[in-house]
Structure 1
Amino acid sequence: NFEDREVIIMKAIAGELDFVQGYELLPMDDYPVVKEGEKEGDYRVLLYRDFKSDGVISINPLTPDPVVRKILGDIRFRQAISLAIDREMINRTVFFGLSKPGQYAPLPSSSFYKEEWGTYYADYDVERANALLDEMGLKWDSEDIYRLKPDGETLEILLESGHGSKPEATMGEMLTAQWKKIGVKLAVRTEKATHERITEDLCELLTTVPESKGWVDVAMASSEPYFWGLGKGWEKWLKTDGKEGVEPPAEWKELKKWVDELISLRPGTEEWITLKQKIWDFRVKQLWVIGMVGQAPIFHLVKNYVRNFPEEGLFGWSTAMDIAYSPQQWFIKK
């Protein structure tokens, strides 16, 4: 049991470990060097698919600045910044082309999936994005570099890192350059966002990874993501039936009714699928969470003498990590 991730990587490449679970121990930026050492280390690198979006932007509707809050609350702004993301480039640069560019949405293999969710405002279209911001009345500054807020100040948005990881930092750099093309100045804070900033709704934008249970038909672990990515005040209100938090708009209260009804239905039935689609139609098209890429592979390192280990599969909180793959049945054969 090693706490230093660099030590884990070195020992893994040297072939000194029987099994290293991906996820946080083997992040994707280590994939090339670990893959290169396969033969010499006498191990195999197995790519599993994750359930969730690995690059997402959570927009806080309760950010303290009233001017920024009004801008973020305009659906046209959320549509514009989504259109201004070059997802293919992010996939190639951060995930080595192994992920799936697209919007924040459930897995395509889910029984309730709709094709339109994955592509909703997910094409790269700077011209269309600029047209939406023009329609909002967000004018350019005198040098045509950045747009101005209604109070005359530069439109600058703060993006904070949910985990403080290297991939998130890289995505932040890329978004800064991409959004500059539509006149949005992005300030990126690469260290992990503090608990206080998240829980007290002090963030404007947050890049992190959502819970994954609601993305599939049936899951073994983790809570539903229907209220995830909203301001903590809204989320708390919805989860406590209004006992705590900040009261959200009426449409989110309606969503809460649908979610409560869904819990009473048997997964896979026609009624369940219809209601699940109704919930995700609303959730995706609100764009309070904007997806960049999803289903990024998680890679495991497995020594060649470790047998009965599935060569492919899904992995994440929804499968309770590797519990679904019966680790008690793995064995060593030399």
Structure 2
Amino acid sequence: MFESSRRALLGVVAVLLATPLFAAPSIPEPVESTFWSAEVQRGDLPPVAERLPRAPQVVDLESRGRTAGVQGGTLKTLVSHSKDIRQMVVYGYARLVGYDANYQLQPDILLSFENDGDKVFTLRLRPGHKWSDGAPFTSADFEYWWKDVANNELLSPSGPPDFLRVEGALPRVSFPDETTVIYEWDQPNPNFLATLALARPPFIYRPAHFLKQYHGDYADPAALAEAIEDVRARSWASLHNKLDNMYQFDNHELPTLQPWMNSSSGKKIRHLFVRNPYFHRLDPNGIQLPYIDVVEMEIVSPGLIAAKANAGETDLQARGLDFRDISILRKGEADGGNYRTLLWGNAVASQIAIYPNLNYNDPAWREVLRDVRVRRALSLAIDRDTINKALYFKLAKPGAMAVLPASQFFSQENRDAWALHDPEAANALLDEAGLTQRGADGIRLLPDGRPMELVIETAGERQEVENALQIITDDWRGIGVKLVMRPLDRDILRNRVYSGETMASVWYGWDNGIPRAYTSPAYVAPTDQVFFAWPKWGQYYQTNHEAGEAPDMAPAIRLMELLADWEHATDDEGRSAAWIEMLKIHADNVFAIGTLAEAPQPVVVNKRLRNVPEIALWAWDPGAHFGIHRPDEFYFAPDGTN
């Protein structure tokens, strides 16, 4: 079965494969898990030595200050929406390549990878690797996705994802043998590997053996018609897409490579995720990861997460907790709670950022919001020190939306740009912008005579946002601007922003506040509608100019030029130069109005839970929140242990 793989792999790997399984000193003898022992004894599941890849990933615990653990236990955690069960894919963080603790890319699901000038990427799979149902995981799964999903017009009307397009050209993809996949471009694609490591990865592979049952080119017509009828799907493509939800993680029948697999599909209050018997990681003592057998994820109201954490109803929690919850958590801890409250750093560029919508449908307001003097004035009017004192006990860092000191591109000048409280300068800028007329209530008037009532829509999920906006309401009234806050459901908010119906919105700053030279600056250019300041420019890029609007402001156009410069750069010096100018453009133009950054993120941890880092960053990308810290290595110490 592995003959072709032996020919393709590097010499050192070939030597490993030629020896008896686990005979190499670096691969310990595997230990059967008690969780699956009954299934193994009945013959329903192969023994662990046959379930692991021939070259499993043996994790290095000692170098990261961790201890070898024991299998067992159920870890409880909380989420606030049913669709948030996808966090198990985020936290599990099994990726083809992933970031290590130093934010360097390393092979994970892959055995290895080779990068030739950012043009040719050779991906080597682990021979003998299996999906969670025991089916082989091979290059055929990559081939199925590329040929039958990504390039099938019924399943993917827009074609393969954008990160695979370089100057509009798609790669040449080949599959020389069952453990080798090659992506090749004529021009560099320096963001390819980093994209595979995202918190929400693109999944350039699929469990072909499972999904072919629902694909019109492979399935038995009668059986497929029956399956379509059973779920009342419109077509086989609709059915296929419904079942092909590797990120949503809500189909327990869909095989996975994550450390835990969903065992409870459908709408439930509690979802259970059990250990993947074929997971590819092994600890130095031969114990197959994850250590924890079951993760129980309970869906609760957002407002109850802190209270439930305080009551000891979660073993590991950061999602749904804000800085304001620290006092009640610390009190519960002091009163005999069974948890510790860690304070991690936060990697978002701003805790609270206001996004004037430069693509707002109202022409008069759009012109006002596009005037950089107006955006600068709104920023200068905010008393960030008061917000910091009232909400963060002065532990956050006031400033504009900018990258954090942990990034090589941090600049105090950018953080201070148009962010020092100066109402007099703010008033002067608004006067200079022609907004000199005021109503009887002191609110400035737009050129068409309407009062300058700036409606800011929020997701209504964070009390700290509403508290900050209350302070900003008073600040802005002092310069003749009336702030109107409108809480909405998260999905409704996003849809309104994307369609241009929202005047302004509030969200976090950039998820990645710690970029390096190798980090693609696409998220600081108008390439995605999720940056709420320019949703229609993002749509224009994302749909290959079929929807949205082309950027028509010089700074935005320059951002796109610099993104192209980064993509064509051949060294870190060139990439860094692009980053530095792009961040300067953001600082000058105030596309998003940042408030404060670096507020500590509370992390509640059961006192018996081990290997959770005391000091760490809570980051979406890069990092996948808990993912980069490898929750599969967390374990419960025996009862009675503190």
TM-score by length of 1: 0.90
1:324 aligns with 2:628: yes
Superposed CA offset, 1:11-66 (max 9, x none): 4223343322x132x23332211111112103211111121111101111121222
Opposite residue 299 of structure 2, the aligned amino acid is: E
2: distance between equivalents of 1:178 and 1:253?
Answer: 32
- 1:288-303 alignment, distance < 5 Å: 288-303=591-606
Superposed CA offset, 1:278-326 (max 9, x none): 1111122211211011122211111222222211111121211112112
Question: What displacement does 1:199 show?
Answer: 1.4
2:325 matched to which residue of 1? 30
1:112 matched to which residue of 2? 409
Task: Tell whether the 8 Å contact from 1:160 to 1:205 is kept in structure 2 after alignment.
Answer: yes
2: distance between equivalents of 1:221 and 1:266?
Answer: 13
1:154 aligns with 2:451: yes
2:347 matched to which residue of 1? 51
Question: What displacement does 1:230 show?
Answer: 2.7
Question: What displacement does 1:265 show?
Answer: 4.2
Task: Tell whether the 8 Å contact from 1:211 to 1:223 is kept in structure 2 after alignment.
Answer: no
Q: Which segments of structure 1 move beyond 4 Å, counting only runs of 4 or more?
A: 5-8, 218-223, 264-267
- 1:153-172 alignment, distance < 5 Å: 153-172=450-469
Task: Tell whether the 8 Å contact from 2:517 to 2:576 is kept in structure 1 after alignment.
Answer: no
Opposite residue 253 of structure 1, the aligned amino acid is: I
After alignment, is 141-150 or 291-300 more displaced? 141-150
The one of 279, 283, 286 equivalent to 2:582 is: 279
Question: What displacement does 1:203 show?
Answer: 0.8
2: distance between equivalents of 1:38 and 1:310?
Answer: 18
Change over 3 Å in CA distance of 1:23–1:258 after alignment to 2 = same
Task: Identify the structure with bigger relative contact order (alpha carbons < 8 Å, sequence gap 6+).
Answer: 1
Q: Secondary structure at the match of 1:237?
A: helix
2: distance between equivalents of 1:326 and 1:68?
Answer: 47
Superposed CA offset, 1:66-97 (max 9, x none): 22111111111111000000111112223333
1:200 aligns with 2:505: no
Runs of 5+ unmatched residues, structure 2: 1-296
Task: Tell whether the 8 Å contact from 2:376 to 2:589 is kept in structure 1 after alignment.
Answer: no
Q: Secondary structure at the match of 1:124?
A: coil
The one of 305, 327, 334 equivalent to 2:608 is: 305
Q: Secondary structure at the match of 2:596?
A: strand
Question: What displacement does 1:250 show?
Answer: 5.3
1:245 matched to which residue of 2? 548
- 1:132-143 alignment, distance < 5 Å: 132-141=429-438, 143=440
Instruction: Quote the sequence identity (%).
Output: 29
1:259 aligns with 2:563: yes
2:525 matched to which residue of 1? 226
Question: What displacement does 1:247 show?
Answer: 1.4
Question: What displacement does 1:244 show?
Answer: 2.6
Q: Secondary structure at the match of 1:189?
A: strand
2: distance between equivalents of 1:46 and 1:250?
Answer: 44
1:213 matched to which residue of 2? 512
2: distance between equivalents of 1:29 and 1:279?
Answer: 33
1: distance between equivalents of 2:304 and 2:378?
Answer: 39
1:184 matched to which residue of 2? 481
Q: Secondary structure at the match of 2:557?
A: helix
Question: What displacement does 1:159 show?
Answer: 0.8
Q: Secondary structure at the match of 2:424?
A: helix
1: distance between equivalents of 2:369 and 2:514?
Answer: 25
Equivalent residue pairs, number: 331
Superposed CA offset, 1:233-257 (max 9, x none): 1111234453431011253233213
Change over 3 Å in CA distance of 1:126–1:284 after alignment to 2 = same
After alignment, is 82-91 or 233-242 more displaced? 233-242
2: distance between equivalents of 1:144 and 1:69?
Answer: 24
Task: Tell whether the 8 Å contact from 1:226 to 1:283 is kept in structure 2 after alignment.
Answer: no
Opposite residue 562 of structure 2, the aligned amino acid is: W
Task: Tell whether the 8 Å contact from 1:214 to 1:226 is kept in structure 2 after alignment.
Answer: no
Superposed CA offset, 1:83-142 (max 9, x none): 000111112223333322110111122112222110000001111111111222222435
After alignment, is 161-170 or 150-159 more displaced? 161-170
Opposite residue 133 of structure 1, the aligned amino acid is: L
Q: Secondary structure at the match of 1:54?
A: coil
TM-score by length of 2: 0.48
Task: Tell whether the 8 Å contact from 2:437 to 2:444 is kept in structure 1 after alignment.
Answer: yes
1:42 matched to which residue of 2? 338
Task: Tell whether the 8 Å contact from 1:44 to 1:302 is kept in structure 2 after alignment.
Answer: yes
Q: Secondary structure at the match of 2:352?
A: strand
Bigger helix fraction = 1
The one of 389, 397, 403 equivalent to 1:100 is: 397
